[in-house]
Amino acid sequence: MKINIKHIARLSRLALTKKEKEKFTPQMETILESASVLQEVDTSKVQPMKKRIEFKELREDSPEKPLEQDDVLKNAPHNENGYIKVYGKIFGGIEES
Protein backbone atom coordinates (compact mmCIF):
# COMPACT_ATOMS: atom_id res chain seq x y z
CA MET A 1 0.00 0.00 0.00
CA LYS A 2 1.55 3.30 -1.10
CA ILE A 3 1.13 6.30 1.19
CA ASN A 4 2.12 9.94 0.95
CA ILE A 5 3.96 10.62 4.21
CA LYS A 6 4.40 14.32 3.33
CA HIS A 7 0.63 14.72 3.12
CA ILE A 8 0.08 12.90 6.42
CA ALA A 9 2.78 15.03 8.10
CA ARG A 10 1.20 18.23 6.77
CA LEU A 11 -2.26 17.21 8.03
CA SER A 12 -0.71 16.34 11.40
CA ARG A 13 1.27 19.60 11.41
CA LEU A 14 4.53 17.72 11.80
CA ALA A 15 7.80 18.97 10.39
CA LEU A 16 9.62 15.82 9.27
CA THR A 17 13.16 15.72 7.96
CA LYS A 18 13.99 13.78 4.81
CA LYS A 19 15.56 11.06 6.97
CA GLU A 20 12.39 10.81 9.12
CA LYS A 21 10.20 10.56 6.00
CA GLU A 22 12.36 7.72 4.69
CA LYS A 23 12.12 5.98 8.07
CA PHE A 24 8.39 6.44 8.67
CA THR A 25 7.06 5.69 5.16
CA PRO A 26 7.71 1.91 5.28
CA GLN A 27 6.53 1.77 8.89
CA MET A 28 3.21 3.44 8.01
CA GLU A 29 2.79 1.17 4.99
CA THR A 30 3.30 -1.90 7.21
CA ILE A 31 0.76 -0.63 9.74
CA LEU A 32 -1.85 0.05 7.06
CA GLU A 33 -1.26 -3.34 5.41
CA SER A 34 -1.69 -5.05 8.78
CA ALA A 35 -4.94 -3.18 9.41
CA SER A 36 -6.25 -4.04 5.93
CA VAL A 37 -6.22 -7.73 6.91
CA LEU A 38 -9.15 -6.96 9.22
CA GLN A 39 -11.29 -6.04 6.20
CA GLU A 40 -10.96 -9.63 4.95
CA VAL A 41 -12.40 -11.16 8.13
CA ASP A 42 -15.98 -12.41 7.78
CA THR A 43 -17.93 -10.77 10.60
CA SER A 44 -21.41 -11.38 9.18
CA LYS A 45 -22.27 -13.89 11.93
CA VAL A 46 -20.71 -11.97 14.81
CA GLN A 47 -23.12 -10.21 17.12
CA PRO A 48 -22.16 -6.71 18.27
CA MET A 49 -20.96 -6.45 21.83
CA LYS A 50 -23.44 -4.86 24.19
CA LYS A 51 -22.90 -3.71 27.71
CA ARG A 52 -25.66 -2.03 29.55
CA ILE A 53 -24.50 0.67 31.92
CA GLU A 54 -26.46 0.81 35.12
CA PHE A 55 -26.70 4.19 36.77
CA LYS A 56 -25.52 2.67 40.02
CA GLU A 57 -22.14 2.04 38.28
CA LEU A 58 -21.60 5.74 37.68
CA ARG A 59 -19.90 7.87 40.29
CA GLU A 60 -21.76 10.61 42.07
CA ASP A 61 -21.31 13.96 40.37
CA SER A 62 -20.39 16.45 43.04
CA PRO A 63 -19.30 20.02 42.42
CA GLU A 64 -15.96 21.07 43.83
CA LYS A 65 -14.44 24.44 44.55
CA PRO A 66 -12.70 25.71 41.39
CA LEU A 67 -9.01 26.63 41.40
CA GLU A 68 -8.14 30.25 41.98
CA GLN A 69 -6.63 32.05 38.97
CA ASP A 70 -3.42 32.86 40.87
CA ASP A 71 -2.94 29.17 41.74
CA VAL A 72 -3.36 28.15 38.10
CA LEU A 73 -0.96 30.83 36.83
CA LYS A 74 1.57 29.90 39.49
CA ASN A 75 1.87 26.44 37.88
CA ALA A 76 2.01 27.68 34.28
CA PRO A 77 5.54 27.99 32.87
CA HIS A 78 4.57 31.09 30.85
CA ASN A 79 1.81 33.59 31.58
CA GLU A 80 0.99 37.19 30.83
CA ASN A 81 -1.80 39.57 31.86
CA GLY A 82 -3.64 36.85 33.76
CA TYR A 83 -3.58 34.31 30.89
CA ILE A 84 -1.50 31.19 30.26
CA LYS A 85 0.80 31.55 27.26
CA VAL A 86 0.83 28.41 25.11
CA TYR A 87 3.67 27.63 22.76
CA GLY A 88 4.79 24.88 20.44
CA LYS A 89 4.97 23.96 16.79
CA ILE A 90 1.20 24.16 16.39
CA PHE A 91 0.93 27.74 17.64
CA GLY A 92 4.25 28.94 16.21
CA GLY A 93 6.09 29.66 19.47
CA ILE A 94 5.88 32.36 22.09
CA GLU A 95 6.51 35.83 20.83
CA GLU A 96 7.70 38.23 23.48
CA SER A 97 5.75 41.47 23.58
CATH class of 5-40: mainly alpha
Q: Could you list the pLDDT tens digit for every one of the 97 residues in the chain?
A: 677 888 888 888 889 899 998 998 899 888 888 888 888 889 889 888 777 766 666 777 888 999 999 999 998 888 889 998 887 655 555 554 3
**Entry pTM:** 0.40
Q: Which long-range contacts (CB under 8 A, 24 or more apart) does 59-67 make?
A: none
| Cα atoms in the 13 Å half-sphere on the side-chain side of 95 | 3
Contact 1, 36 (CB under 8 A): yes
Contact 84, 72 (CB under 8 A): yes
